[in-house]
Amino acid sequence: MSGQALPARVTVLNPEAYNLFLRARAAIDAALKLDPNLAELHSLRARLYLLDLNWAAAEAEIKQALRMDPTNEGVQSEAGWLACVLGRWDEGMRYFRAALSQDPFNTGLIGSYGLCLLRAGRYVDAEEQLRRALALSPASDVWWIDLGEVLLARGELAPALDAFRHTNFRHYRLIGLTAVYHATGRGAESNDAVQQLEADGATVDPYEVARGHAYRGEFEQALNWLERAGAQKDPEIALWAKGDPAFVKYVGDPGYRAWLRQMNLPD
């Protein structure tokens, strides 16, 4: 196995993508039947469980992989992802640093480490890692998105808008435009962006629609979309739910905390 981190953005609500998800899981399961001692395959199966919002199964796979090969770069990367998904920031960052010590120019690892730092609220460190990933891979849509989120969280709105405009991922660009236009008082443009986000994301990215409304301060609408995302098992929940900068001002809200408990995420 290469040790390259899996892409952060994987949406399985689209039927075609979900079929790929199922085939990937079947391939991993078949390979492990032939040789159950392949540690990195256990870690990759953990990622698929994460996308399916099955935290307990993901943790069991990661623990097994770490027992088999605790110094494997791919295993350490996936262990870092699991820890960050569950809000165990220090543990997650420790695993990412261990993986990066073996492969310091792996842009997937660097960017994933940056995203973990972002979710932990360490914006300066997150920006450093994301700019490092972009220096190595300047055309990467993914890391432009996360850099935009960092800059938005720091109140650097013009640079954030520029970062969001770099990505070709329409849903993520729209959420960035929704948030930045709202923050800069460009209400009509923010309204247009969030309407497009709803039209495009209703069936495939309900969690991102929730984030758009949260950035606009429309918490009741955001909560309704969170409920929809949970019902549809939107894998974006794994990517963002713990430490989401869009919901940072709502972390003490009883409705938001109840939703986290409903998703079996630590409150």
Q: Tell me the per-residue pLDDT of 123-180, one tens digit each, with 9 for 90 and over.
A: 999 999 999 999 999 988 889 999 999 999 999 999 999 999 999 888 899 999 999 9
Please give the Cα distance from 191 to 95 (Å, whole number). 40
Q: What is the mean pLDDT of the chain?
A: 90
Please give the Cα distance from 20 to 111 (Å, whole number). 24
**Whether the Cβ atoms of residue 152 and residue 179 lie closer than 8 Å to each other:** yes
Please give the Cα distance from 197 to 193 (Å, whole number). 6
Please give the Cα distance from 1 to 238 (Å, whole number). 24
For 172, what's the count of Cα atoms within 13 Å in the CB-facing half-sphere? 24
**Whether the Cβ atoms of residue 46 and residue 72 lie closer than 8 Å to each other:** no
Please give the distance of CA 257 from its chain centroid, rounded to a whole number.
19
Alpha-carbon Rg for the chain, nearest whole angstrom, is 18
Residue-range domain boundaries for the chain: 12-104, 169-267
Average pLDDT over residues 194-207: 90
pLDDT tens per residue, range 60-102:
999 999 999 999 999 999 999 999 999 999 999 999 999 999 9
Which amino acid type is present at position 120? A
Q: What is the CATH number of domain 12-104?
A: 1.25.40.10
Band of pLDDT at residue 9, cut at 50, 70 and 90? very low
Beta-strand ranges (E) seen in 133-199 are none
pLDDT recorded at residue 2: 38
Q: What is the DSSP letter of 4?
A: P
